[in-house]
Amino acid sequence: MSRGDADRIADILDAARELAAAVEVGHAEFVSSPLRVRAAERLLEIIGEASNQLSEEFTAAHADVPWSDVVALRILLAHHYHRVDVDQVWRIATAAVPDLVRDLGAG
């Protein structure tokens, strides 16, 4: 059974909600918690993979979203985990992901 765009968007939005919960403790507590940081990284990977599976029609209809950056982040997190900047994860989780949710009309 193949999953469609609606399923992929649901995955993105679910991961975004969980990500918001991971960072709601504030920057200092987030960066001092390896468990929260790793959870955030994994949720960003899920967002990237779900984005990579969206149809060309969907991504073209939402051309204001930097889809290639979202997908590239997943690759970075999965394959270059040793180079991940925790503060960058924080900025993405607290600014870019809420923007993505808003761009998808869910925020």
pLDDT in tens, 26-60: 999 999 999 999 999 999 999 999 999 999 999 99
What is the spatial distance between Cα 9 and Cα 80, in angstroms, rounded to a whole number? 26
What is the spatial distance between Cα 39 and Cα 2, in angstroms, rounded to a whole number? 26
What is the spatial distance between Cα 85 and Cα 82, in angstroms, rounded to a whole number? 9
Nearest to 48 by CA among 4, 92, 2, 82: 92
pTM for this structure? 0.93
Looking at the predicted structure, is the pLDDT value of residue 10 above 80? yes
Q: Which residue has the tokens 């923007």?
A: 99
Residue 105: predicted pLDDT: 81
- DSSP structure class, residue 107: -
Residue 1: predicted pLDDT: 63
Distance in Å from the first CA to the final CA of the chain: 29
pLDDT in tens, 61-97: 999 999 999 999 999 999 987 888 999 999 999 999 9
φ and ψ of 55, to 5 deg? -70, 155
Residue 107: predicted pLDDT: 60
What is the spatial distance between Cα 17 and Cα 74, in angstroms, rounded to a whole number? 18
